[in-house]
Structure 1
Amino acid sequence: MNNPLDTAGASPPAQSVIISPDAKPGSTSESDGVGGPTIKINVSYGSSLHVIHLPAQSTFGDIKKLLVHKTGLEPEEQRLFFRGIEKGDNEKLHLEGVKDKSKLLLMERAASKEKKLEETRKLNEISKASEAINVVKAEVDKLSDKVAALEMAINAGNKSSEKELLVLTELLMGQLLKLDGVEAEGEAKLQRKAEVRRVQGLVDLLDSLKARNSNPFSQSGNAVTETTHQETFDNGTEGSNDPSSTTTSSSTKISQDWERFD
């Protein structure tokens, strides 16, 4: 039996040093499950080469986490290969033969690549649609100025060319057809909708101007009313107490209301 005194001055057993996967090269920690010296790993991704420093007993999943900010790929979007074989996230580097200055190959998962291609396609379509809508908008701006000028002229009592009104309407309808042919999504779809409403509003205004232009006297309705009142006053019927006059007036009003209802 060993004498307790023989071991009294013995040194305590050596403790293993554990290094965290997130620790800087040369640093140590006491995290369970990860340890060993810090090693340098070269990761090839496309035409790029990324250098990673981490403990030798880390996992391939730890490498993926460190590659996120370098490649822009999330861990689930990454595939890591060592010696031509894809490695799982929980596999240990040192157990798989990964050493200092070993080289790994990183590839993006097909599903992730397809998703990004689809997002890029949508962005390109939105950009293309916005450009087409802006071209139409510029043309509608010019037509809108012409419609405004015609409206001012007709409001001033000037008669405009029926052909000019017709041509403007046809040009606006042509812009509507262009907008209808634009495939738009997201923000571009809202832009197209707003521009369609603007063009439709201009077409409606032109229709109103056509009616007023063909019957310019309809704008002088107030003057006609004032003249009628003046003539009535001059004839002595304004404010008359004649019952027959009152009855006739009421009858006429009811008849007019009925005609409007029909």
Structure 2
Amino acid sequence: MSNNMFLRGGLNTAADDGGGSSRDWELRPCGIVVQMRDTSSDTIQAGPLIKVKVSYGGSIHEVSITAFSTFGDLKKSLALGTGLQPQQQRLLYRGKEKHNRVYLHDAGVRNKSKVVLIEDPSSHQKRLVDSRRDEAIAMACRAVADVNEEVDKIAEKVFAVEAAVKSGRRLKDSAIAEPTELLMCQLLKLDSIKADGEAKSQRRILVRRVQKYVETLDMLKIQNETSNSQRTVVTTSWETFDAGLRGSTSAPLQQRGRVLSQTSTSSTVADWEWFN
């Protein structure tokens, strides 16, 4: 009787196998004491194959697995077909949740038995959050891509302005101001995009590219104005007169007085031509 009580309570002893190692033992429901199996191993235990029908949502997944496998092993087999990682799964058999270390045959799972799979509520909530975040990132990436297409078109105008200024052509101020304003509008669009992850990285790269174009146009504007001022030269030609008409404004009047006196005293003096 003491042996029966001892067996019902389970057996966890270390027996020396002669090699110095120890083994753990466990009591099965049938009353047999067997060596405890290592459930930390990824290898599914050997034994007769059974087909387990797993209901998940509105679909049925049929899994072939050994009867000596655990529910944790069953979760690993379901990961590929359901898209749920083992830690995201909860398995119910006969209305009760079964833990990873429980063996299928110990729980009474037989060939063509039905197991219900549900997703862990916390995992489901996290998956919804991740899905929404991924969707937001995808939308932000599309918005950044649209702005990038507009920047490519404006870049062609920037290159045309740069080629014209370097060739020595005089451009109107509007030819440089127009692409600058367009680029500033694209910067405002990028600033309004709420981005995370990959979209944030793409937006940062595009912002730097637009700023570089704006700086290039500012330099071209200065070069265009400088070259124009150097080509504009104002020259003034002064006419000079001989002595008597050059100097102060009173000199012609004095000269005019002497001429008048000469014409009044001598009739042989030639007439003078006056210049205002």
Aligned-partner Cα distance in 1 for 2:47–2:222: 91
What RMSD over aligned residues (CA atoms) do the two structures have, in Å? 2.7
- Letter matched to residue 141 of structure 1: D
Determine if contact 1:60/1:91 at 8 Å carries over to the other structure.
yes
Q: Percent identity?
A: 46
Matched, 1:133 2:144: yes
Aligned-partner Cα distance in 2 for 1:186–1:159: 45
TM-score, normalized by length of structure 1? 0.63
Determine if contact 2:173/2:221 at 8 Å carries over to the other structure.
yes
Determine if contact 2:161/2:175 at 8 Å carries over to the other structure.
no
Displacement of 1:142 after TM fit? 1.4
Q: What corresponds to 1:91 in structure 2?
A: 102
1:169-227 per-position Cα deviation (integer Å, ceiling 9, x unaligned): 1111000001111222233222211211111111112212222222325678xxxxxxx
Correspondence 1:113-262 to 2 at 5 A: 113-217=124-228
Aligned-partner Cα distance in 1 for 2:73–2:110: 15
Aligned-partner Cα distance in 2 for 1:157–1:92: 86
Larger Rg: 2
Aligned-partner Cα distance in 1 for 2:193–2:172: 33
Determine if contact 2:137/2:195 at 8 Å carries over to the other structure.
yes
Displacement of 1:146 after TM fit? 0.9
- Letter matched to residue 198 of structure 2: E
| Number of residue pairs aligned between Structure 1 and Structure 2 | 191
Q: What corresponds to 1:79 in structure 2?
A: 90
Aligned-partner Cα distance in 1 for 2:228–2:76: 81
Q: What corresponds to 2:121 in structure 1?
A: 110
- Letter matched to residue 185 of structure 1: D
Long gaps (5+) in structure 1: 1-29, 221-262
**Residues 111 and 210 of structure 1: CA distance in aligned 2, closer, same or farther (over 3 Å):** same
Aligned-partner Cα distance in 2 for 1:138–1:199: 12
- Letter matched to residue 186 of structure 1: G
Determine if contact 1:212/1:219 at 8 Å carries over to the other structure.
no
Q: What SS is found at the alignment partner of 1:184?
A: coil
